[in-house]
Amino acid sequence: MGSSPRVLVVNSGSSSLKYQLVEPEDGTVVAKGIVEKIGEPGGVPDHEAALREAIESLRGVDNPEIFAVGHRVVHGGSSFGEPVLADDDVVAKIHELIPLAPLHNPANVRGIEVGRELLPHVPHVVVFDTAFFHTLPEAAATYAIDTEVAREHGIRRYGFHGTSHQFVAHAAAELVGRPVEEIDQIVCHLGNGASVSAVKGGVAVETSMGLTPLEGLVMGTRSGDVDAGIVFHLARTAGMGVDELDELLNRRSGIKGLAGVNDFRELHRLIGEGSEEARLALDVYLHRLRKYVGAYLAVLGGVDVISFTAGVGENDDVVRAGALAGLERLGIEVDPTRNAERSKQARVISPEGAPVTVAVVPTNEELAIARQTIALAQD
Catalytic positions, written as ranges: 129
C-alpha of 312 from chain center: 13
The answer to whether residues 125 and 372 touch, using CB atoms and an 8 Å cutoff, is: yes
Taking CB under 6 A as the criterion, the residue among 16, 135, 142, 192 binding ligand ADP is 192
Q: How far is CA 341 from CA 303, 336, 360, in A?
A: 24, 9, 11
| Angle, CA of 246, 248 and 249, to the nearest 5° | 70
Taking CB under 6 A as the criterion, the residue among 193, 224, 254, 362 binding ligand ADP is 193
Minimum separation from the CB atom of position 186 to ligand ADP (A): 18
Nearer to ligand ADP, 76 or 193 (CB): 193
> Which of positions 213-232 make contact with ligand ADP (CB under 6 A)?
220
* Residue 79 contacts ligand ADP per CB under 6 A: no
Give Cβ neighbours of residue 269 (< 8 Å, ≥ 6 apart). none
Minimum separation from the CB atom of position 178 to ligand ADP (A): 26
How many residues touch ligand ADP (CB under 6 A)? Answer: 13
Measured at CB, which residue is nearest to ligand ADP?
311
* Residue 367 contacts ligand ADP per CB under 6 A: no
Taking CB under 6 A as the criterion, the residue among 186, 312, 369, 376 binding ligand ADP is 312
152 C-beta neighbours (distance < 10 Å), count: 9
Binding pattern for the stretch 313-342 against ligand ADP, x by CB under 6 A and - elsewhere: --xx--------------------------
Minimum separation from the CB atom of position 145 to ligand ADP (A): 29
Q: What's the alpha-carbon Rg for the chain, to the nearest Å?
A: 21
Taking CB under 6 A as the criterion, the residue among 244, 246, 247, 263 binding ligand ADP is 263
Taking CB under 6 A as the criterion, the residue among 24, 210, 311, 362 binding ligand ADP is 311
- What is the 3-state composition of the chain as percent helix, strand, coil, each rounded to the nearest 5? 45, 15, 40
**Residue type for position 78:** S
The answer to whether residues 224 and 257 touch, using CB atoms and an 8 Å cutoff, is: no
CA distance 335 to 319: 13
Minimum separation from the CB atom of position 220 to ligand ADP (A): 5
Nearer to ligand ADP, 6 or 71 (CB): 71
Burial class (CB in 10 A: 0-12, 13-18, 19+), 251: middle
Minimum separation from the CB atom of position 355 to ligand ADP (A): 28
* Residue 358 contacts ligand ADP per CB under 6 A: no
The answer to whether residues 362 and 346 touch, using CB atoms and an 8 Å cutoff, is: yes
Nearer to ligand ADP, 123 or 224 (CB): 224
* Residue 247 contacts ligand ADP per CB under 6 A: no
- Nearest CA-CA partner of 180 in 195, 189, 169, 191: 169
* Residue 160 contacts ligand ADP per CB under 6 A: no
Nearer to ligand ADP, 192 or 275 (CB): 192
Minimum separation from the CB atom of position 189 to ligand ADP (A): 8
Q: In what order do the strands lie in the sheet with 124-128?
A: 28-35, 17-23, 7-12, 68-73, 124-128, 84-85
Using CB under 6 A, list all residues that contact ligand ADP.
191-193, 220, 262-265, 310-312, 315-316
